[in-house]
Amino acid sequence: MSINILDWLGNRGIDTPIKKHKAMGRWFFVQVKEWYGEEVEAYCTLDDDGDPIHCAEVYTSWNSEGFDWSDENLKCLVSDMER
């Protein structure tokens, strides 16, 4: 399944300015600037049965300073989140 991350968030009422984004399987990561600083947030687009998730909830987040955007790191983070 291929989705447009910005459309997916926008269709769920999220209009936070996004500086960077990257998809990894059913997950995507977005770097956002909030009033308290910048962070990278993780969202899941499909539930465990493969059905679309219709609400946008941040699963977890990390400080964006020094965040590793490499595929290898994102795969590790996805693996940790799916445990």
Taking only the tens place, the pLDDT of each residue in 25-55 is: 999 999 998 888 899 999 998 888 988 888 8
Beta strands in the chain (DSSP E): 18-24, 27-34, 37-44, 60-63
φ, ψ at 15 (rounded to 5°):
-125, 25
Whether the per-residue pLDDT at 19 is higher than 90: the answer is no
Predicted pLDDT at 1: 52
φ, ψ at 54 (rounded to 5°):
-100, 0
30 close to 9: Cβ distance less than 8 angstroms: yes
29 close to 2: Cβ distance less than 8 angstroms: no
19 close to 38: Cβ distance less than 8 angstroms: yes
